Structure 1
């Protein structure tokens, strides 16, 4: 998993859906694209022929207005692990500026939640 060194916080399940690195072009943030994408991924994962039990998202939570923290929480994800990665950039953080608050995070959502 990206930036996380243990799977311990992830609940046991027969089948997982891994969500990684979804980005929306800066000119289109706030238009609901990320939400629609997650809804589509959930719908596919929850089909009877796929049958995902738990969705797992590894994410970069940052100080920008478009941090995935808000998006994931709005879609019933629980953050089960987070740790600081402040100082990940040479110079100011591209999202937070001088005072970096970036975290590597692992979030989980039970299938058929919400």
Structure 2
């Protein structure tokens, strides 16, 4: 007896054909029935506001929240002239400080 052949001489279709056959049977069974839209799950996310964000929202930081259009114009002009430099060290320091604050906040929760 060969593998894949049954004792009655019939051969089962390959796996891919069986899956396709099942899909078409399911389609034929359901037809064009419209299924109702699933409702959105209830909100379950919790948000924690960092101390820096709280300071910014309270307006107690060094920035008064006003928009400095002249500063934006100066930076834009420096970028277009190729004179704008990025202080990578300051960015890295701030990134590390923010990560440390996040890790401390998580450690305090547990």
Instruction: State the TM-score bracket (shorter-chain normalisation).
Output: under 0.3
Pair member with larger Rg: 2
Q: Which has the higher strand share?
A: 1
Q: TM-score with structure 1 length normalisation?
A: 0.18
In the superposition, the TM-score normalised over structure 2's length comes to 0.18
